[in-house]
Chains A and B, each alone.
Chain A
Amino acid sequence: MEQLSGAQLTIRLLENQGIDTIAGIPGGANLPLYDALQASTKIRHILTRHEQGAGFIAQGMARSTGKPAVCFATSGPGATNLITAMADAYLDSIPVIFITGQVPLSLIGTDAFQEVDIYGISIPITKHNYLIRSVDELHTVIPEAFRMASTGRPGPILIDIPKDVQNSITSYDPEEQYGFFDQLQAPSLPTVEKIELAADMINNSKRPVLYIGGGVIHAESGYLARELAEKNSIPTTMSLMGLGIMPHDHELYMGMLGMHASRGTNRAMKESDLIIAVGVRFDDRATGKIAEFCPNAKILHLDIDPCEIGKLKKTHLGLVGNVRYSLEMLIPHVAENDRSSWCIHVAKLQQENPIFCPNDRNFNKPYSIILEAAAIAGEDAIVTTDVGKHQMWTAQSYPLSRPRQFLTSGGLGTMGFGMPTAIGAALANRGKTVLCFTGDGSIMMNIQELATAVEEEANIKIILFDNSSLGLVRQQQSLFYNRHIFASEYKHRVDFCTIAKGFGLKTYSIDDHHSLKSVFEEAFSNKGPALIHIPIDIEEEVYPMVPPGAANTTMIGGELTHECA
């Protein structure tokens, strides 16, 4: 038995969970935790410049590895600065453990200095949260938080630890595994009857479409989704969160569905007679007007969260359970089928409606820039985005080939996500190159983390599409608000290269578009952070676009005026 303070115990239990990196910022209420962390030989601390940056660095680690990651903040403003990253993790079901310092127990409720009820504030944006009231609770709460964050439907957990609890002494038995293994429940599995019904639905369908998303990635089941698609020849579309599961060059690949999908994909969905929805939640960006989503199709839904079945769309059959097991059970019952006429039809729809021509190399066009970056970065690169047109261009065109390759803020759509998330991904995947596609609006929202990137020598390559505007908002004003362009253009041009240089990054500015290739080659071959500034025409829009609230078959723009070579 060792005698440890609550802070020391916390660090020890985090070490036991395999945590090797924690991002955060210290302050009065979490100094005991920092003092314990300073003594750890197993955990490296990443000092960020803003707590939101720490939250997204943790997300970058969690999203790229699938393992829970941790970040620290002090009470009050430290804790409130975490909120956006917490809500973001909640909406995208990402396992992050947020640990905040709190004022001492005796001062809670007295409006003490830097007291904020982060427990109360975080209720709607965490999977679960804890306010620790006695040091002994830590023994169980910390392992339980890890279990809860990463099992079932993953999600963020907040643990708020008052300063006096951090300083209280408790005994620790190195063998202790309080409440960890005994609380592991057997996974819930669909019944064999339901599996057979589901297989019948698939086997009897004529025009099935597989619609897969984040849940398949959380379940590490990309290979199973592909196996199902291939065995029964099912054209496959992905939500934004599912991109990468079906490789871009696969013959069943239909890309993303929904608001910014290709015309061919949304049309094929309309014709489909069966939607096999796996680890997706029928978000309105994906479905468009839900009443008109796949009007001719039955819905078969596989999801771990019973709340998602039938939440938004009438479901003919729901299989509740981890899709890793559900798919494993289902695939043997699914018949081999080559579905040649449906597959040929879908492939034709795809060919006739490309979003861009892969061979057009016009280097002031976003797609060409993205394809060029991808070609030079290679298959191994990880890709993050911010939020806006650049995000959708990347989602539409980046040749993704595996789960966890593409990290983007889907549910909350948080500007400022991209760069700190890239840092986190780079820290958790040393040796890989991490590309961050961002816009001149988004980069400003966490630009302070450039300092962290330099300090940590994070191998991130920021590709900044500068259109002097909040482009996606401006596009909506053009399309849906009578071209009243208001509050979406920047009158003052910022010199991003000088700023990034000031932080210590290598910077490149693309003014002569022929230099794109050589700039990418140089920037990607040197280790460490770099920023590549690329001017983009303000009128360059992202198409097709389904107007918010319209059916997915109502698509604006995106028809190519020429045939692809």
Chain B
Amino acid sequence: MNALKTDSNIQHETILELQVNNHPGVMSHICGLFSRRAYNLEGIVVVPIGRGKISRMWLKVIEENNLEQIVKQLQKLPDVQTVTRQPPGDSIFSEISHFFSS
């Protein structure tokens, strides 16, 4: 989860938007999946939505060959309700980037 990438990297980034159940084990399930399957997570933003039973999660990843596999594995987690892939460009990560510029 390092600072923002240079422009040339940006087109290889993908944002995954997840809707997940909100309970204490969910983050471990999701982060564990990435580390276990040797896939790098570049950034995470999570916020509870509605009355807090559900959270929305944005994951920034670099496109690699097995992204498809990771997405399918995410969809299998019982606490993950939906996974959608967003084009890079205007994402939540660019909106919060000023918190991270040094």
Contact = CB atoms under 8 A, between A and B. Distances in A.
- Number of chain A interface residues as a range: 10 to 19
B10 to A, nearest CB: 28
Contact of B25 (A119, A148, A311): A119
Identify the 9 closest CB pairs spanning chains A and B, nearest first: A307-B72, A128-B78, A123-B32, A306-B72, A124-B36, A307-B73, A123-B28, A123-B29, A120-B28
Given A128-B78, A148-B78, A306-B75, 8 more contacts: A119-B25, A123-B28, A123-B32, A131-B24, A131-B25, A305-B76, A307-B73, A307-B76
B69 interface: yes
A129 B75 CA distance: 16
Contacts of B72: 306-307
A100 to B, nearest CB: 15
Contact of A311 (B36, B69, B78): B69
Nearest to A144: B78
A26 to B, nearest CB: 26
A400 to B, nearest CB: 32
Contacts of A131: 24-25
Interface in B1-28: 24-25, 28
Contacts of B36: 124
Interface in A89-124: 119-120, 123-124
Interface size bucket, B side? 10 to 19
Interface in A463-508: none
Contacts of B75: 306
B21 to A, nearest CB: 12
A169 B53 CA distance: 25
A385 B42 CA distance: 45
Contacts of A311: 69
A307 B69 contact: yes
Contacts of A307: 69, 72-73, 76
Nearest to B72: A307
Interface string B65-93: 00001001101101000000000000000
Contacts of A120: 25, 28
A124 B75 CA distance: 15
Interface of A: 119-120, 123-124, 128-129, 131, 148, 305-307, 311
Contacts of B73: 307
Contacts of A306: 72, 75
Nearest to B76: A307
A124 B37 CA distance: 10
A159 to B, nearest CB: 13
A282 B28 CA distance: 28
Nearest to B29: A123
Contact of B32 (A124, A128, A305): A124
A137 to B, nearest CB: 10
Interface string B18-54: 0000001100110010001000000000000000000
A84 B39 CA distance: 25
Contacts of A128: 78
Nearest to B31: A123
A269 B31 CA distance: 39
A128 B73 CA distance: 13
Contacts of B78: 128, 148
7 contacts: A119-B25, A120-B28, A131-B25, A148-B78, A305-B76, A307-B69, A307-B76
A120 B25 CA distance: 8
A123 B24 CA distance: 13
A129 B25 CA distance: 9
A148 B24 CA distance: 20
B58 to A, nearest CB: 22
B96 to A, nearest CB: 28
A182 to B, nearest CB: 16
Nearest to B36: A124
Nearest to A306: B72
A487 to B, nearest CB: 30
A305 B75 CA distance: 11
A13 to B, nearest CB: 19
A305 B76 CA distance: 9
Contacts of A148: 78
B20 to A, nearest CB: 14
Contacts of B69: 307, 311
B39 to A, nearest CB: 13
A119 B24 CA distance: 11
B68 to A, nearest CB: 8
A123 B36 CA distance: 10
Nearest to B75: A306
A510 to B, nearest CB: 46
B37 to A, nearest CB: 10
Contacts of A124: 32, 36
B70 to A, nearest CB: 9
A316 B27 CA distance: 35
A382 B25 CA distance: 40
Nearest to A124: B36
B53 to A, nearest CB: 14
A129 B69 CA distance: 22
A148 B32 CA distance: 20
Nearest to A311: B69
A129 B73 CA distance: 16
Nearest to A123: B32
A123 B29 CA distance: 7
A228 B76 CA distance: 30
Contacts of B25: 119-120, 123, 129, 131
Nearest to A148: B78
Nearest to B68: A310
A131 B24 CA distance: 9
A128 B25 CA distance: 11
B23 to A, nearest CB: 8
A307 B28 CA distance: 20
Contacts of A119: 25
B55 to A, nearest CB: 17
A124 B33 CA distance: 8
